[in-house]
Chains A and B, each alone.
Chain A
Amino acid sequence: MVGHEIVEKQVLAPDVVSIRLRAPQIARVRKPGQFIILRISEGGERLPLTIADADPSAGTIRLIVQAVGKTTGQLASLEPGQAIRDVVGPLGRPTHLDSFGHAVCIGGGVGTAVVYPIAKALAELGNKVTAIIGGRTKDYVLLEQELSRFAQRVIPTTDDGSYGQKGFVTAALKDVLDSSPEPPVKAIYAVGPVPMMKAVSELTRPYGIYTVVSLNPIMVDGTGMCGGCRVTVDGQTRFACVDGPEFDGHLVDFDELTDRLTTYRQAEARAVQRYENHTCKLKDES
C-alpha cells in the first residue's frame, strides 16, 4: 500500500472523526503540541493537523478532524483500510511543559483534540489538571471520558446549554480562577477557534497567568520555508510552523490572524462546492 493506512475510525460528532493511521516513526518521536502535514492524494493540498495522540508500540498516530472544507471533508470520509499518501512530521516545537502545580486546559470544539495530549502530559508531570471543554452543542463536547481519566475535574460547556454548563468556556474559566483553587492555577492552555483563544487570553491577562495558545494559520511546507504561516507575536513576525505553533496568548495579534485566515475563503467555497457536486454525482451513479 502506498502511504499511511488508516487502521481505525470513530465518528465523534456529526462532522468530526477520529482516525488512527500508521506512521511508526512519527508515533515514536512526536511530543505533545506537535503536528503533521498530510496530503491525501496526488493533486491534494498540504493540510496541517495537530497529533492528538500516539501509540508507539502499535506505530500509529491519532488525528481528530472536523469536516469544514474540501480536504477535511475528504479526510473524514476515508475508511479503515484506505490510505493517506503523504504524512510528514512531527513538526513544530513541542509544548513547553513544566510542574506548575495546577494547570487549566481549555478546548473548544476540535481544539480539545489538540489540548488533550498537552493535558495528559501535564498530568504525567504531576500537575493537577482542570479541563474545560466547550462545544456548540452536546455533540461537539469531545474527549470528556478520555480527559476524566487523568484530569481532576472536567467541565463541559455548550453554547446552547444542551449539555454541561450553558455558555462559553471563558465563563467556566472565570469561575475556576475566582474560586481560589488549591494549588493556584499557574498555567492555562487554550486551543480552539481564534475568537475563543483571544477571549481566554483577554480574560487571563489581568490575572497575570501564563496562557498558551496553539495557532492554526495558513501553512504550506511546515518547515519555515514559505512564511505563509507568519503571525505577529509581541510585535515581531514569527512563523507558526518553526517558532510555534504555541505562543504566549497575551502577545499574539489575534485580529491579524483572524483576517489572514480568510485569504482563501472564496477559493475554499469553490472547492467545496465542486467536491460536493462531484461526490453527489458519484452517489447518483452508484
Chain B
Amino acid sequence: MSSNTGRMTAKQRLAIERQKMPERSPDERAKDFNEVNLGFTAELAKLEATRCLQCKKPTCMDGCPVGVDIKKFLELVEDGDFLAAAALMRQTNSLPALTGRVCPQEIQCEAECVRGVKGEPVAVGHLERFIADYERAASEPVNVEVAPPTNKKVAIVGSGPAGLTAAADLARMGHDLTVFEAFHAPGGVLVYGIPEFRLPKKIVAAEIENLKKLGVKIELNTIIGRTYTLDELFENGFKAIFVANGAGLPVFLGVPGENHKGVYSANEYLTRVNLMGAYNFPNCDTPIMRGRQVAVMGGGNVAMDSVRTAKRLGAEKATIVYRRSEREMPARIEEVHHARDEGIIFEMLTNPIRILGDENGWVCGMECLHMELGEPDESGRRRPVPIEGSNFTMDTDVVVVAVGARANPLLSGATPDLKINKWGYIEVDENLQTSIPGVFAGGDIVRGSATVILAMGDGRQAAQSIDNYLKDG
C-alpha cells in the first residue's frame, strides 16, 4: 500500500501558510503563572504537518541534537496517526513535551527547513508539543520497548534534562537506574528555572512518572560530592555514573552595590518563585521581594523568564537591560515576542556600572552607561563599547542578574581525580567519558551554560557510551 495516494502536491502544500500557535491574550496571561501557549488542535496540527514537502534529503534532521526522524514524524501527524507519531518521537526523544516547549527550534530543525528559505519553516516544535500532549491525554500511553534486565546498576547525578534523558535511554536498555537529585523535587532546571507559564510543572511530573514506570529510582535530597562521593557509589555497586549536575554558581556583574537588599541572581529569583512557590507567599513559606520597578540584566532565556516572572509578580515596570542590541540577544525569538506583548520594556545597549541603595540598604536605582557596537569579539558578535559621558540613572527597586553561571565546584572539589578545565567544567572525551573510567559527564557541567536540548543530546550520547562501556566491562 502506498501511503502517498491522495496526498497533496508540493504546490498545494506550498500554498498553506504557517499556522499560528494559539495563545492567551497578553493582558490575561501577564497576571498569572498559567501557560501562555494553548497548543495546536488536531486540525491545526494536521494542516501544519501538511506544509512539509517530505524532502528526499531532509535537512531538518541535521538540525536536531537528538536526531529525531522529523520527516517521518510529520508524515504521521499529517495522517492523523498521532500515537504512532508519539511512539516514533520517543525512540529518539524521551522528553518531547518539554522540548516542544523550550527548544530553540529557530536555530535547529526549523532553521534547516527548506520552507524557511522562502517563507516560514514548518512549525516542528509546535507539532512536537501537540503530539506529546496528545499522548499524555490519551488513555493508553505509548508503549516503549524495554530490554531484558542486565542487573547492572547505573547512577545518574542530577535530574535535569541531561540526567532524565540518559536515565530513560539506559532504563530502556535494561539497566538498573538510580537518579540522585540535590533538591527536594526532581527535574533540575525544568522545575527550579523554567517558569510554569512556559513549562507547566505537571508536564515535568508526568515525564518523571514515565521514568518511574520504566523502573528508574529517584533519590531526592542527595548531593553527590557531599552525601555520597563517586567512590562510594562504586562501592555501593554502581558500575557506571553519569554526572549531569548542571552549571551552578551564578555570575554577578561585579559592580558596586551588588549586595544591596533587592539584588538577586536569576537563579535565586526563579528558584524562589518556581521551586519554592514564593508567588504564593504566605501560603508557601518562602518569601520574595515584589518590586514595583524590576530591572533584569541579560538577554538570554533566563533573563526573559525572570522579567516575565517579575511582571506576573505585579511589577508596574519590568525591564530587560542588555548591553548589546536586540539582534545579539541569545533568547528564543518566541520568548522575546511574548515578553514584548506582555509589556516588558527593552533597554538595549545599556550597561549598569553601579547599583544604588537608599539609606537602609535597599536598592533604589542603577547608574548605567549607554553602549554602542564596535568590532566583533571572540563570540562573533559585535562588542559593546561604552559611550563616554552617557551616564544616566534608572529607578528600580529589584535587580535580577541573569548574565550566566560558573561551574559548581561541589563534585569536582570532592573528587580530586576528576579532571576539570581552567573554568572548572568537567573534561570529557568524544564518548563523554571523564578522566575516571566509568564516569561520564554531560550538560552544563561540561558545556557551561547551554540549552535543554543540548543537555538532552549529551544524555542520549552518554547513555549509548555507558551501554557500550557496560558491555565491554
Contact = CB atoms under 8 A, between A and B. Distances in A.
A101 interface: no
Given A88-B184, A267-B281, A227 B249 contact: yes
Interface in A19-61: 25-26, 29, 39, 43-46
A237 interface: yes
B464 interface: no
B250 A226 contact: yes
Interface string A215-231: 00000110111111010
Interface residues of B, number: 40
Contacts of B259: 230, 232, 237, 256, 260
A227 B250 contact: yes
Contacts of B220: 86
B268 interface: yes
Main secondary structure of the interface of B (DSSP, over half): loop
B118 to A, nearest CB: 45
B285 interface: yes
A225 B182 CA distance: 11
A87 to B, nearest CB: 6
Interface stretch (B25-33, B63-71, B223-231, B331-339): B223-231
Interface stretch (B2-10, B270-278, B344-352): B270-278
A146 interface: no
Q: What is the interface residue range for chain A against chain B?
A: 35 or more
Interface centre among B221, B252, B264, B284 (most CB of A within 10 A): B221
Given A45-B285, A88-B182, A88-B222, A227 B261 contact: no
Interface stretch (A105-113, A118-126, A268-276): A268-276
A62 interface: no
Contact of B261 (A26, A262, A268): A262
B265 interface: yes
Interface in A240-282: 242, 256, 259-260, 262-264, 267-268, 270-271, 274
B287 A268 contact: yes
A244 to B, nearest CB: 13
A225 B267 contact: yes
19 contacts: A26-B227, A29-B226, A44-B284, A46-B286, A70-B285, A87-B221, A88-B182, A88-B227, A91-B223, A220-B268, A223-B248, A225-B408, A227-B265, A237-B252, A239-B249, A263-B262, A264-B287, A270-B282, A271-B285
Interface of A: 25-26, 29, 39, 43-46, 70-71, 85-91, 220-221, 223-228, 230, 232, 237, 239, 242, 256, 259-260, 262-264, 267-268, 270-271, 274
